[in-house]
Structure 1
Amino acid sequence: MSDTRTEQLRVRPKVWIGLAIWVGYVIVVFVVGKLSGVPYTELGRDGGTLFLGAGLMLIVGAILLAITASLLGWWRPALFERERSARWPIFVPAIMVVALLINLVSVDWGSYDLGFFAASIVLMLVGFTEEMATRGLLIVGLRSRLPEGWVWFLSSAAFGLMHLTNAFGGQSIGLTLNQVGMAFLGGTVFYILRRTTGTLIWAMILHGLWDFSTFAVGHGTPGPLLGLSGIVNYIAGFAALAVVAFVIRGSRERTPAAVSSE
């Protein structure tokens, strides 16, 4: 009897396909972002710049990723694990949730207008697009050949490296490199959330809310607790590095090497 998950794969997973999807996503969002004419450093200025500079490229990216997943037949392995890992490391993403809540209570909600709020909601698409590109479709490709330790490392590194494009949008190299490092740590947190819950969906939700909160707190005058959020987020990131081996251990998530119809 064949695995029904294998039967749904229209295209045999390959490492190069996963990498090509990641590269293609990075290029598409970069080009759409450049065509918008909005520098990265001005995304949060108002609702219009946030939508044109970020929301539009996320909409395009989401559509293209959904089409790609459908054509390949990779939706299930991209979104779901065969088996959950040990549950206890979920305390790591829970720490990130605390940082998220601190961000939200630090937002100057009085500075919001309808346009900025609407653009902020669109911004949450980043949870779908970036997770699908790195810890979704890329992971499917990587798992076709590589052991799980490399799957974690390469998918998290890819997530970090995609933020290098922000330097071409006006952000300083120093801030960009710090963002790359923090994204690698954050990617590890999201990887742990995928493994402990058995699905990428929760990582998509947390990721979308996190980016919403970081742009929201930068609009207007943030509350006094904002600095604490960054500290808590660092704690989550380094805790993720400390426990990631426990969610890698014993993984049997290798993507089937061929499509089966028997």
Structure 2
Amino acid sequence: MTETLKVRPRVWIGLAIFLGYVAVVFLVQRLSGVPYDELGESGSNLFLGAGLSLIVAAILLAITTTLLGWWRPALHERKRSVRWPIIAPILMVVALLISLAATDWASYDGAFFAASVVLILVGFTEELTTRGLLLTALRSKLGEGWVWFVSTALFALMHLMNAASGQDLLPTLQQVAFAFLGGTIFYIVRRTTGTLIWSMVLHGLWDFSTFAVGHGTPGALAGVGPIVYLIAGVLALIFVPFVIRGANERIDARA
């Protein structure tokens, strides 16, 4: 890495940021007193139980990234991978659009819609934490295959906090598995486009669509979106070796 970094990347720094993010989000959500399975009941529940924690985390992450001087490596690749694996993310976009088409928009009020829009911040916070800062730290020590696996696995395991916030264990474990597929898709977006920004956008809109379709009475297409998503995720696992192959993103961690 040729640019000057204020702090040289270390694996422990990335792990500390990851754990700090999980702790902040979990603490703010618990202080709100809104159980995870009640987030979709009202705009106030959604904002206090999820949106507020994302706002706090976004501010802290922006400060942390600035102090470290890691904006460049966190947001940009030095060289893009082959382009064709972006087929998997495109299928995820199709699943997203199907969910939005199946959403009961008549059930929305202004407060719930506003709180739902705040959820788009999750694309910034979770992507910057895992496929941004953590990925940058991991690249100081690990090969790109391990960088993908470790950052994606920790992203998936992050969702275990939902069980501690009131969600049943079985759907939480299912969420973890689906998050690993989604994390692989977001990693492919980063490698094929050369920037984390599009991963942030797709991630934020995906979470928005997930809460949207679950509000009110969804349309007949609601069950199709998850199937398309699953296909996209399986394809992403097949395609990911091709975006890893030949990667030269290793960061020199020498002081």
User: 110, 131, 136: which is aligned to 2:127?
Assistant: 131
* Post-superposition CA distance 1:43-91 (Å, at most 9, x none): 1111000000000000000001000000000000000000000001011
Aligned position for 1:106? 102
Aligned position for 1:251? 247
Separation in 1, partners of 2:56, 2:127:
15
* TM-score for the superposition, normalised by structure 2: 0.99
Aligned position for 1:115? 111
* Post-superposition CA distance 1:190-234 (Å, at most 9, x none): 000000000000000000000000001111110100111010000
* Post-superposition CA distance 1:214-262 (Å, at most 9, x none): 0011111101001110100000111000010000000000112246xxx
User: 158, 172, 176: which is aligned to 1:180?
Assistant: 176
Aligned position for 1:166? 162
Separation in 1, partners of 2:146, 2:39:
34
The question of 1:42 aligning with 2:38 is answered yes
Percent identical residues: 69
The question of 1:53 aligning with 2:49 is answered yes
* TM-score for the superposition, normalised by structure 1: 0.96
Separation in 1, partners of 2:210, 2:99:
7
Q: What letter matches 2:203 in structure 1?
A: H
The question of 1:192 aligning with 2:188 is answered yes
Aligned position for 2:60? 64
Unmatched 5+ residue regions in structure 2?
A: none
Separation in 2, partners of 1:209, 1:78:
20
Aligned position for 2:14? 18
User: 88, 95, 106: which is aligned to 2:84?
Assistant: 88
Unmatched 5+ residue regions in structure 1?
A: none
For the residue of structure 1 that corresponds to 2:40, the secondary structure is coil
Structure 1 segment 72-83 matched on structure 2, within 5 A: 72-83=68-79
Aligned position for 1:27? 23
Q: What's the RMSD between the two structures over aligned residues? A: 0.9
* Post-superposition CA distance 1:81-123 (Å, at most 9, x none): 0000000101110000000000000011111111001001111
Aligned position for 1:203? 199
Separation in 2, partners of 1:255, 1:20:
18
For the residue of structure 1 that corresponds to 2:220, the secondary structure is coil
| Matched positions, count | 255
Q: How far is the alpha carbon of 1:170 from its aligned partner?
A: 1.3
Separation in 1, partners of 2:180, 2:43:
28
User: 212, 217, 226: which is aligned to 1:230?
Assistant: 226
For the residue of structure 2 that corresponds to 1:44, the secondary structure is helix
